[in-house]
Structure formats: structure tokens, C-alpha cells
Chain A
């Protein structure tokens, strides 16, 4: 809500500067911003009662423990009930409905220039003096009004929800709106003349030739107005107030104020005021236990002071007992219904900044294992030279499906920001490809990046999210060095890095298996297991799924941190051998179709005596090796726990290995 400072200052009868006045309101809970001569008030949705000069005045004076000195002048009117004017109102949507009929209007002048400039600066356009006056009273007192051209209405009025499905009305401005059955409407004998609390019909609107009017002031229940204006794309100043709650006791005084001001700009023959109400809203009462309040706030407020503060805010003392004080809640305070709501009023008035502070307290002993594990994983990647990136999770259908090798159903947004990206990511790679691409375009040559984030999929009845750590390594050109050594970055260097990372984090027993599902990798990919649990995948990026964002070979990985089993047992350390390690190499030739993995698992599961470790140190095909065969040099290390091994003992183990390889894999020793 924007209010002219000069107008507000006069209304509040204060000399405070614009800055000081803004500070006062900010301190009581209405954040202010200064724009030229205007103060923009950020009124929170619970405080519809402050959306007027009168509302601000109440707060301003309560803050200073004073009563406003000036009264707003009104004309006084007699209330009548007449079914020929207001026939029926639907109590579920409308608490009361007032209609003031003014006939024989003549010599209508404009509002004075101060009021006009006040309205305009508040962002309310000037339309017609009779309408402007209603808007003025709304800003002054907080009660929205609607002005009908009485000659265009066929009384009586009914306030009700449409009975038929197909209703429409041409609203002020000329747009035809289909009226939904959930919308409360004002109907005369010819049909819908207004969507309650939002906008009137074009047909019954006032014009320059209008000579009699029906001015409406009503209490529409907030719950029937909320979200209605949005449905029609018509958020109006009136709807904004109605959905936050308009004081149900304000309608008559507001119309009397309208009439008082109308007297200043026009002549008329007669005026009548009609009303109808469904049932009087019950006055709310709330109890306050001052001792409990003091415990809650760490203050020591006296009961008399608490009463004074609340009285200044318009709360009336209803009853007082040893333990509690009961207050009547003013009809404009829709936000007060619990004792804690009164605490807020007391604290607001006392000043939050005046509440004494206590030293920070600690909770019961806890551990944050998962957070720590994720932090370690992240730092491990950082130490391997990866830079962390973060991206939005929105992706296009195309890129979702390209990277979807698990047959996931995508999670889809009803209201995406960008229509082309309606899905939530099922993989982090799309953004990583784009990140590589944008940095390469800029001239960077070597890129090593990762992201930690959730990916999403739709399940039968709900959705699931899985945390991924995904990374990519890309060298646009091999790194150059003065030493003339070629720095290789390939599948196996990534394999080393991932192995090192996982082992450093305590996963000694990881196993690699050929990857079971591929995207975004090509066939050169591995699944990484701990026991039966797949904890990661790594491989060579399949360039065809990168949407041309990457054009040369890149390598990537995905780690599933939540799949990594957390060990709850402390590691048990075994006594190491005092005796030396002995190393022997063996050169074998075998069929190329046999993978190293087969050799390795054969040897490691065979229980070769004294064998403590085993590795491949050379692989060769070509000269001297028959076509379709490959030569491997295997290095084995032996050690005993109880003695220095004899040459003959080592040889016998080597022989056993060789026999096994010959028998099971058809290997031959290379001469």
C-alpha cells in the first residue's frame, strides 16, 4: 500500500519526518520503503486491518500509548430493512450487506485536488467522482465500496452463489467473464451485477449521466473471496482487502462517511440506507496469563502494563481473575484468536529490541554422520581437482529421456517457468555438459567439475528423490608441459582417481563390474560395488547423448552416497608380518576375449599360499604374439606371517598359479 507522506502526516497530526515515520511503522511491524513523497507499506497478509489511514493511525497512536486526537466526520443515517431492496443474502459468504440509495444527484463536482492526488499516488486511477469517493473512503477507513447506477438496477438485490453452471458477466472495462459457481455474486432481477468483492458489471456501472446511485458496503467472508480474484485475473484493491478481512462493523460508518463527503461535491434529493445480515459475528474473547507470557518472553511485565498496552490497541477488558485476564478482541483484528497472538501484541508494543537476550543453549548430544560423510566425499572430489557446480533441476523432455537408461518416469511440473523445461532432472549430466560447453567456448581447455544434487522420478503413487554426486573430466587438448611428458587423462586415470577417493573414504573392498545400464556412458563403463550394493558408476561419455554440447572424449562418474553402507563397527587391526615381501613376475599369453577381471578373480579366489597381492604390470599384443591373443605380465607378492619364505615355497605358489591359469583360462607361459 502506497501512501503520500504529506497526506499521512496531516491525517496522523504528527510532525515526524518521512524517514522517522517510516522507522516507527517498520518497528511496529509494517515494513516501509520510501519512494519520493511516498511511503510504501508492506502490510503482511494477517493485517488487513492496517490497509487504511485509519488502520495506520490506530497502530501509530497505540505505539505512543495515546488516543487519536481527531474524529472523522460523518453524516448520520437511519438503517432500514426492506425485502424490496435487499431480498436475501447467503450467510455462508456474506455477513452483512448494506446498500445506500442516493437519488436526484445534480451538480456533481470532482473531488478536491488533495484527495485526487492522494488517490492517484496510491495507484488508484480516477474514474468518476462518485466512484473515486468510494475508493477514497476505502483508503481512509478500510471498507471497500461499490457504486452502482441505481437506474440500471432492477431491485431487489440477492447476494448468492450462482445456481446454474453457465453464467457470465461483462465486467467494468468490457471483458466478458465466465462466472464460476464458487464465486459469490450480487444479482438483481436481471442477473449478475457484480462478482462480490472483486468487480462490478459494465451494465450497472456509473457514468457521467448517472443521477441516482446505490452504494454497496458489505462484509464478505474472507474464505469465499480468497483466490477468486486470481481466477479471474482481476486482483483489485477491494479483493485484496476482502480476502484479508474487512471489519464487519465498519459498513454503516463508511457509508455515512461517503455521504458526508458526497455533500461536499454534489446535491441530491434523497438518501436511504438498507441492510441485511445473516447473523451477527460472535465477538472473540482471548485469555492472557501474564506470568506465562513473562516466561515465554523472558520479560517481567506487570499485569497493569499489559492491560494498558492492549487497551491502547483497542482490546477491551472483559474479565479479570487471579490467573487470567480476558479481552474482547476488536472486530477488525482477524489475526487474533490465541493467547500467543496477544503475546505478539505485547512484545510489538514493548519493542522486540528491548527483550533481554540469553546465552545460546545446546541440545542433547547428537551426531551428524550423513552430513559429515557427504562433506568428506565432497572434499575428496575437491582434493582430486574437481570444482563444484550448482544448477537448476529443470530439464526438457528430450534431455530427460536421452539420459534415462533406467526407464524412469519423469516428475513433471504443472506450472514450469519455462515451457520447454517442464521436467525435473533424472540425471545431473545435462547441466554438466552445458557447463563444459560454455567454459570451452570461453577458451578454457581443461575442465573437471562435479555437482551434488537430487534427481527425481515419478513412482506409481508418489515421487522419489535420490542424491547423486556426478562429475565429468574433459580436456579439450591434452595438457602441455615443458617436460615433454605426455600427461594422459583417460578412462584408467579416472578409475584410479575414483578408486583412490573411495578407498581414502574408508571403502577398502570396492569391486568393479561391467556396467549394467549405460547412459550417459558408452560401453566403456563400470559399476562399482561394495558387496551387493552398487555405489557408483563411471565411464566414457557417450557423445551422442550430449546434445552436441561435448564433441571430444570425456569421462564421468556418478556416486550414490546414500547407497554407501555406513560401517558401525570399529575397524579391527591385525598384527603385521615381520618377514619380508617377495615379488615375482609371470608372463602369460591368453585369448584376447578373456578380461583381466577373470584372471584376477581366478587368482584371488584360489587361495594361493602366501600370496598377499596381485597386479597387472604390462599388457601387450602384436609382435611375437599370435593374432587374437594378448600377453600379460602379472606381478605377485608373497609373504609369510611366521618366517622368511624359501625360494622353493615361492616357486611352488607360482607353479600353482600357472597351472590354474593354464587349466581354467587356457593360458600359456610366454617364453
Chain B
């Protein structure tokens, strides 16, 4: 077997004109690939006589090592030649801040997202409201003990009208019933205010109330949409209980409880069929239309959903708390 003496030299020469990795690997295959002289020569060794075989094998090994080294060095050169620098790509990104929505916004949005495909229209309404929209039109007569259920903030005003901070978002429903066409499917999300404050109550919290006024609306419709909503919200089959309660603006009224793990039955929302006094007060023909309404506290749902123990956390501006609501 004849080992060409200029193999290394020609390889080195050819390598000089290589500019890209593709060309390099093509050339490398020519000299070190399956069909190359070196690899072929190794396979032909067994045809040689044993005394020659040892010497030729030695020579071939040297040749192969030199070729390999030549190509290795050359590759380094080629890499150096290209217009990018090799990076330690594991180095950290430049500093950045990650934003996030407030958990109360997230939960509100989650609730709204259930109802918007059912064409519920969103109304945010006024936080400063008159007594009429917050109480009177909702069948809270003046001096009625039901008003004591709502510790109300009143505003100083020189006008005869009494202004207050709304105690629920139902005020928005009155505006909508007076101004919008029927049938009406609506949600009124927003902030509400009660002048009491302790570990479980804040003077401001968030409510989302819903209202439907349509022909032939039944209590069964109300139950249906609420159970479906709760299962969508908690993403599981829920045990839901409706029990009689009292709100001046609905008749009959109900509280809705859900079975929540070890905590047992938990009150989660209030609802009912819209009181005829409310509909009549909004010039709605009660012979033709009926309505149902429901309302829930967003903080309460957020606490259950995220397992937050202290309601005050939501308003603490604590970045470490808020960093947990990225998704």
C-alpha cells in the first residue's frame, strides 16, 4: 500500500481557501470521512502480511492524527474568521422589571370573561352617587332598618340632594334600567364603600353585580347561570346551595353557598329575582318583563381562589406579595 506523501500538504493548501463551515465539513469528509483514503486504508490493512501490517498501521495512525489536528486547528481559525463572537449565552439578561395586573383586576376579569360571551354589557358607574340611585330606587325606603346593613359614607354638599359613596354597584343597574333598551343583560363591576374597618372588612372593596331583565326570566335561569359560572370560575364540579335571605331589591332573595374543602359551606354570593318595586320604579312593565340579579365580592373570591388569608394584603402595595400574581 502506497501512502501519498503530500496528503497533509494538499489538505493544508485546500483548507486555506475554505471560507465557510459548510465548505470545511465537505473538505473534512474528503480527508477523514468514510470514503477517504485514510479510512479506506485502515480497512485494507487485513489484506497485508502481518509483518508489513504493523508498520503501515503505525504510519496510518500518525497520518490520521495529523490530519485530525490540522482540521481542528483550521476549524478554530474559521470560527475566528466569521463575524460573530462566541458568547457565554448563559450570562443573565440585562435587568428588567416584570409588570403584572393586580390580583383583584385578574379575578374581576376572570368573572367578566365568563359573562361577556353571554353578551352581558359592562357598566362601571359612579362611585359618588345620590341617595336615590343607591337606596331609594332599590326599594330601601328612608329610615328602613335595611339601610343599617350598609354603613354609608356621606359627602358634604351644599345641594339638597344627598350624596354618598355607593355601598354596592347596584346603583349602576338603576341607571342602566332607566336608560338602556330591554332586554338588558349587564354586569356592574367596581369599587364600593362601607364605613367600617376591621381585619375582615375594609372601607373599600370590589363588587361585581349582574342583572338580567328579559321576558320569561325564571328563578331556574338565575340558578343555572350562577352554578355554571361558579363551576367555570373554580374549574371543577361544585356543590352549590341556595338558601333564602333578604335584600330589599330582590324578592325572593337568596344567598349562595359553595362547599369549599375543609371549610365546609361558604357564603359566596347573593342573588334574587328583581323586586317589582324596583322594576316599576324604573318604568319597566312587570307584566311583560322580569329580572334577576346577583352580586359578589371580588376580594372574597380572590382570597378563596389564591388562598390569601388577610384581605388587607390586596391594598398593601407590597411588591413581594404582588410578584406572585404574574401569570
* Chain A residue with Cβ nearest B143: A226
Is there contact, CB below 8 Å, between B251 and A358?
no
Task: Name the distance in Å between A230's Cβ and chain B's nearest Cβ.
Answer: 8
B66 at the A interface (CB under 8 A):
no
Contacts of A392 in B (CB 8 A): 202-204, 315
- Bitwise interface map of A from 332 to 351 toward B, beta carbon under 8 Å scored 1, else 0: 00010010110110011000
Task: Name the distance in Å between B326's Cβ and chain A's nearest Cβ.
Answer: 10
Task: Name the distance in Å between B180's Cβ and chain A's nearest Cβ.
Answer: 10
Subset of 26 A-B contacts with CB under 8 Å: A26-B243, A29-B245, A46-B146, A295-B216, A296-B273, A338-B276, A340-B251, A341-B251, A355-B219, A357-B220, A360-B118, A370-B124, A382-B100, A385-B99, A389-B102, A389-B322, A390-B315, A391-B317, A394-B203, A438-B317, A438-B318, A448-B97, A449-B317, A461-B161, A463-B163, A487-B94
* Chain A residue with Cβ nearest B101: A388
Task: Name the distance in Å between B72's Cβ and chain A's nearest Cβ.
Answer: 31
- Bitwise interface map of B from 90 to 109 toward A, beta carbon under 8 Å scored 1, else 0: 01101111111110110001
- Contacts A45-B148, A414-B156, A482-B91; is A297 near B317 (CB within 8 Å)? no
B116 at the A interface (CB under 8 A):
yes
Contacts of A417 in B (CB 8 A): 195-197, 203
Is there contact, CB below 8 Å, between A456 and B128?
yes
B214 at the A interface (CB under 8 A):
yes
Is there contact, CB below 8 Å, between A27 and B243?
yes
Interface core residue of A28, A335, A454 (most chain B CB under 10 Å): A454
Contacts of B45 in A (CB 8 A): none
Closest 8 CB pairs of A and B: A363-B185, A29-B244, A298-B220, A344-B252, A44-B246, A435-B317, A352-B242, A382-B99
Is there contact, CB below 8 Å, between A343 and B102?
no
B40 at the A interface (CB under 8 A):
no
Is there contact, CB below 8 Å, between A360 and B225?
yes
Is there contact, CB below 8 Å, between B100 and A353?
no
Interface residues of chain B: helix, strand, loop or mixed (majority): mixed
B119 at the A interface (CB under 8 A):
yes
Contacts of B97 in A (CB 8 A): 385-387, 446, 448
Contact partner of A387 among B100, B155, B255, CB < 8 A? B100
Q: How large is the interface on B (under 10, 10 to 19, 20 to 34, 35 or more residues)?
A: 35 or more
Contacts of A296 in B (CB 8 A): 218-219, 273, 290
Contact partner of A363 among B143, B145, B184, CB < 8 A? B184
Interface residues of A in 456-509 (CB under 8 A from B): 456, 458, 461-463, 465, 479-483, 485, 487
Interface core residue of B128, B159, B318, B323 (most chain A CB under 10 Å): B128
- Contacts A362-B119, A446-B95; is A352 near B218 (CB within 8 Å)? no
> How many angstroms between the C-alpha atoms of A558 and B189 in the bound complex?
23
Is there contact, CB below 8 Å, between A45 and B246?
yes
Is there contact, CB below 8 Å, between B319 and A47?
no
Is there contact, CB below 8 Å, between A363 and B319?
no
A278 at the B interface (CB under 8 A):
no
Interface core residue of B153, B204, B218, B315 (most chain A CB under 10 Å): B218
Is there contact, CB below 8 Å, between A434 and B227?
no
> How many angstroms between the C-alpha atoms of A439 and B322 in the bound complex?
12
Interface residues of B in 234-254 (CB under 8 A from A): 241-246, 251-254
B132 at the A interface (CB under 8 A):
no
Task: Name the distance in Å between A547's Cβ and chain B's nearest Cβ.
Answer: 16
B144 at the A interface (CB under 8 A):
yes
Is there contact, CB below 8 Å, between A482 and B92?
yes
Interface core residue of B92, B228, B251, B273 (most chain A CB under 10 Å): B251
Contacts of B275 in A (CB 8 A): 340
Interchain Cβ contacts within 8 Å, total number: 251
> How many angstroms between the C-alpha atoms of A415 and B244 in the bound complex?
33
Interface residues of A in 276-311 (CB under 8 A from B): 295-298
Contacts of B202 in A (CB 8 A): 392
> How many angstroms between the C-alpha atoms of A480 and B94 in the bound complex?
9
Is there contact, CB below 8 Å, between B128 and A344?
no
Is there contact, CB below 8 Å, between A465 and B128?
yes
Contacts of A438 in B (CB 8 A): 317-318
Contacts of A388 in B (CB 8 A): 99-102, 105, 322
B289 at the A interface (CB under 8 A):
no
Complex interface: stretch among A153-161, A207-215, A371-379 = A371-379
Is there contact, CB below 8 Å, between B155 and A227?
no
* Chain A residue with Cβ nearest B290: A296
Contact partner of B145 among A45, A295, A356, A390, CB < 8 A? A45
Interface residues of B in 39-73 (CB under 8 A from A): none
Is there contact, CB below 8 Å, between A387 and B322?
yes
B154 at the A interface (CB under 8 A):
yes
Is there contact, CB below 8 Å, between A361 and B109?
no
> How many angstroms between the C-alpha atoms of A482 and B88 in the bound complex?
12
- Bitwise interface map of B from 204 to 240 toward A, beta carbon under 8 Å scored 1, else 0: 1000000010101111110111011100000000000
- Contacts A357-B227, A392-B204, A415-B195; is A44 near B99 (CB within 8 Å)? no
* Chain B residue with Cβ nearest A339: B276
* Chain A residue with Cβ nearest B227: A357
Is there contact, CB below 8 Å, between B143 and A378?
no
Contacts of A390 in B (CB 8 A): 102, 104-105, 314-315
* Chain A residue with Cβ nearest B106: A388
Task: Name the distance in Å between A292's Cβ and chain B's nearest Cβ.
Answer: 10
18 new A-B contacts at CB < 8 Å, known A352-B252, A357-B227, A448-B99: A29-B246, A31-B245, A44-B246, A45-B149, A363-B118, A363-B120, A363-B184, A366-B121, A370-B124, A371-B112, A379-B101, A388-B105, A390-B104, A394-B203, A414-B153, A415-B195, A465-B126, A465-B128
Contacts of B157 in A (CB 8 A): 458, 462-463
B136 at the A interface (CB under 8 A):
no
Is there contact, CB below 8 Å, between B95 and A243?
no
> How many angstroms between the C-alpha atoms of A352 and B149 in the bound complex?
24
Contact partner of A362 among B95, B101, B154, B185, CB < 8 A? B185
